[in-house]
Structure 1
Amino acid sequence: MARQLRAEQTRSTIITAAADLFDRHGYERTSLSDIVEHAQVTKGALYFHFAAKEDLAHAIMELQSRAVRQVTGEVEERGCPSLEALMRITFAFTRLSVEGPVVRAGFRLATGGVEVRPPLRHPFTEWLEIATNRLLAAVREADVHPDVDVHAAARSLVSFFVGTRVAGRPLEPVARLPRRTTEMWHLLIRGLVPVPRRPRYLGLAAQLERETALADPLTR
């Protein structure tokens, strides 16, 4: 049991180290030797868990997908309106991006350099499905204009959400991500939500930004 626990801890250490390097330097510019040095493990330990760098990247993307499903499930349990649920999901994922390198690395890996292997779905496909389903429900709940092209709106939301992370990586600290998510929602709410309902969702965006910042030790 102790040996198994040590093996699991070593695997986790390697994944975290690889995620940190992939996020900061990119997949192509990170070598297995870099990961070994950063994780402070032996090459034998790394190869015991991962046969190739691609396997490490795939493990990170699997963890990111699991995080998306967990966050989505937790929000769904709240039973809140669909647009609110979508906002809460994006802020929860923002918090995970700030807290650790795995989700951030997943973003970078998803934008190029690594082929997603079945049965894992491409992250953008997964996120697009979540956004589309919530926006379609929000139309039925009258929180989104009935004449909105929901599929175009969902594509724009995913592109906006990913783009802020890609563009912001070299320009500003990761602790700014909650502010960028709020800015995204301010624009989307004004374009999607009927005027009488906008104050509620603009207020919610501000509230979720505060909650995300309070949960983030980097902003304390």
Structure 2
Amino acid sequence: MAQQERAIRTRYTVLEAAAEVFASNGYEASTISEIMSLAGVTKGSLYFHFSGKEALAHAVLQHAVIVKPDNPVKMQAVVDLGLLLAYRLPREPLLRGAARLAADQNARPFFGGPWPQWRDVIATLLAEGRSQGEVFEHIDPLETANVLVGAFTGLQLVSTVADGPDSLLLLASDLYRLVLPGIAVPGVLRVLSTGPDRAHHVFDVLGQPGWDLPVTFDNVPGASFPVSSGQVEAPVPPSKR
């Protein structure tokens, strides 16, 4: 058991180091030697767990779990998803490395386009919200999801040169405050929580995904972030008249 625990810790150490290097350098410029140096492991130890750089990149993407907040107000779920991601990105190397890989044009032939699964989740929530009367009828869910994800990606790049771990969170909060009036109907808009404190609440409720289970990486999909669900209290909008 102790040997298995050491192996799991070593695997995670290598993964975290790889994520840090990918986040800093991008996929093409990252090297196995730099990952080994940062992780403090030998070549044999690294290759015991991973077959190479591409396998490491796939593993980083697979482990970067995006938690999907689950609540009856679908527009609040959309906001919570973005705010939670903005809170976690500066604090979690694996997620930060996965974000860089997903947005890296040089890595796209290996891992696909940027944030595909996050976009699909947002599009689904927007479609559900429209069917519940939360979203204006003229809103196209997939088109709007693409705009939101693209805007978030741009804010992420801006935040890398800003001070403080909450710079991205503050920018994301501003983004939702400015764009939601064009998406959500007034009755729902009035009860949505979009401030930075909302991210802290959602994180406290959902917690951080754990890394204590051994994982195999056979048939890992392309640049898709695993999504798990969690129940978060949300304000209930006024009933439709």
Range into which the TM-score falls when normalised by the shorter chain: 0.7 to 0.9
Report how many aligned residue pairs link the two structures. Answer: 204
Q: Using the TM superposition, give the Cα deviation of residue 164 of structure 1 relative to its aligned residue in structure 2, in angstroms.
A: 1.4
Q: Using the TM superposition, give the Cα deviation of residue 136 of structure 1 relative to its aligned residue in structure 2, in angstroms.
A: 1.0
Contact 2:20–2:97 (Cα < 8 Å) also in 1: yes
Contact 2:19–2:93 (Cα < 8 Å) also in 1: yes
- Structure with the higher helix share, 1 or 2: 1
Residue matched to 1:54: 54
Counterpart amino acid of 1:114?
A
Partner Cα separation in structure 2 for residue 116 and residue 103 of structure 1: 20
Residue matched to 1:218: none
- Superposed, 1:170-189 pairs within 5 Å as 170-189=161-180
Contact 1:179–1:209 (Cα < 8 Å) also in 2: no
Q: Using the TM superposition, give the Cα deviation of residue 211 of structure 1 relative to its aligned residue in structure 2, in angstroms.
A: 3.7
Q: Bigger CA drift: 8-17 or 157-166?
A: 157-166
Partner Cα separation in structure 1 for residue 113 and residue 139 of structure 2: 26
**Residues 1:163 and 1:184: Cα distance change in structure 2 (over 3 Å):** same
Partner Cα separation in structure 2 for residue 213 and residue 59 of structure 1: 23
Contact 2:28–2:107 (Cα < 8 Å) also in 1: no
TM-score by length of 1: 0.82
SS class of match (1:41): coil
Which structure ranks higher in relative contact order (CA pairs < 8 Å, sequence separation ≥ 6)?
2
| Pair 1:102-2:94 in alignment | yes
SS class of match (1:205): coil
TM-score by length of 2: 0.76
What are structure 2's unaligned runs of at least 5 residues? 206-241
SS class of match (2:194): helix
| Pair 1:90-2:82 in alignment | yes
Q: Using the TM superposition, give the Cα deviation of residue 172 of structure 1 relative to its aligned residue in structure 2, in angstroms.
A: 4.2
Partner Cα separation in structure 2 for residue 123 and residue 110 of structure 1: 4
Partner Cα separation in structure 2 for residue 8 and residue 116 of structure 1: 30
Residue matched to 1:162: 153
Counterpart amino acid of 1:6?
R
| Pair 1:30-2:25 in alignment | no
| Pair 1:114-2:104 in alignment | no
**Residues 1:2 and 1:116: Cα distance change in structure 2 (over 3 Å):** farther
- Superposed, 1:68-83 pairs within 5 Å as 68=66, 71-72=67-68, 75-76=69-70, 79-83=71-75
Contact 2:102–2:112 (Cα < 8 Å) also in 1: no
Counterpart amino acid of 2:144?
A
- Structure with the higher strand share, 1 or 2: 2
Q: What is the aligned-residue identity percentage?
A: 26
The one of 153, 162, 172 equivalent to 2:144 is 153
**Residues 1:31 and 1:173: Cα distance change in structure 2 (over 3 Å):** farther
RMSD in angstroms over aligned alpha carbons? 2.5
The one of 163, 174, 198 equivalent to 1:208 is 198
1:88-126: CA deviations, max 9, x gaps?
122222222132111111111011232576xx8866221
Counterpart amino acid of 2:198?
L
Partner Cα separation in structure 2 for residue 121 and residue 33 of structure 1: 25
Q: Which runs of 4+ in 1 moved over 6 A?
A: 212-215
Residue matched to 1:16: 16
Contact 1:131–1:154 (Cα < 8 Å) also in 2: yes
Counterpart amino acid of 2:107?
V
